[in-house]
Amino acid sequence: MFRLDRRALFLPALWLGLAAAPGSASNGKTEDAIRLFEARQVTQARPLLEAAVREDPSDARAAFYLGRALLSADEVDQAIEWIEKAVALDSERVEYHLWLGRAYGSKALRASVFQQPSLARKVRREFERASELDPDNLEARFGLVEFYLRAPGVMGGSLAKAKEQAKQISRRDPLQGHRAAGRVAEHEKRFDDEAQEYSAALRDFPESPEPHYWMGSFYERRKDYARAFEIYEKLLEKRPEEWNACYQIGRIAIVSGERLDRGVECLTLYLSHTPGADEPSLASAHFRLGLLYEKKRAKDLARAEYTAALELDPTLKDARKALSTSR
């Protein structure tokens, strides 16, 4: 019996941000809830979405966003139920299939070896359907890259198919093609080739911040923290408004135990702005700032940050655990 890699089907946070689906009918509660959801106020959005689906069971957008709210709260089975309903109501929405695939993947991570093959097939089916609906949708193709790389062969995994998807991505978007090729190289443990892909992206697309994050993450995974810090500091010198680089410096300070004062400075700066849809939340920044204060043995400051994180996002389990153990 084969077991799915426990990291299998996981998609990096930066891949998951999707705008509200246009064009479907919905009531005022749905619109208000979506605005709250996109503003990271998921706890406030959820009761509005629950009311919206009660009032109009045919509201696909309400069902979809309710599923996403449940998924963010780690209520995976209920999330799948509502996103499946959204797909049944409006089967032509690419993002519905993408999120259904992700929800199945989340369930697969904790499923028994007997359940995993069926769930893996569902993940692949949804990503493939999303790609069929929109062949130029890179999120769908990246989802397939991850699936083919991480799933065992008996569950549909295939290095050859992952490489083909990476080629398709490159044909449509050369910048993202470097990212996809780097991901395949990482899977094959061709780390020099992976670094070369990200270096080529930095060279060929000097105005894009994205390759800096790929390279910074590469150095972090190799535990070369000095270079990881350097890549983000250089990005900030070039683009002071690149808030996510500031966040990453704070995060790496936690992981490495180095440059703690700089990490505190960067996360404090990050908290002074309003994050975009693809940026880490303020709750996450408060939580990580608390971790930094823990490392600096400033327990009172750490608890204050954990409390602030939970006020913004009561579902943040790591912050709740940290607060309970910070004495």
Q: What is the mean pLDDT of residues 270-289?
A: 94
pLDDT of residue 140: 95
User: Distance between CA atoms of 64 and 277, rounded to whole angstroms?
Assistant: 17
8-state DSSP, 273: S
pLDDT of residue 190: 98
Q: Is the pTM of this model over 0.85?
A: no
pLDDT of residue 326: 82
Nearest CA to 142 out of 184, 106, 108, 113 is that of: 184
Q: What is the mean pLDDT of residues 279-302?
A: 96
User: Distance between CA atoms of 227 and 248, rounded to whole angstroms?
Assistant: 13
Q: What is the mean pLDDT of residues 308-312?
A: 95
Tokens of 86: 């959204």
pLDDT of residue 23: 39
pLDDT tops 60 at residue 213? yes
pLDDT of residue 39: 85
CB of 309 within 8 A of CB of 316?
A: yes
pLDDT of residue 302: 97
Start-to-end Cα distance in the chain? 44
pLDDT of residue 82: 98
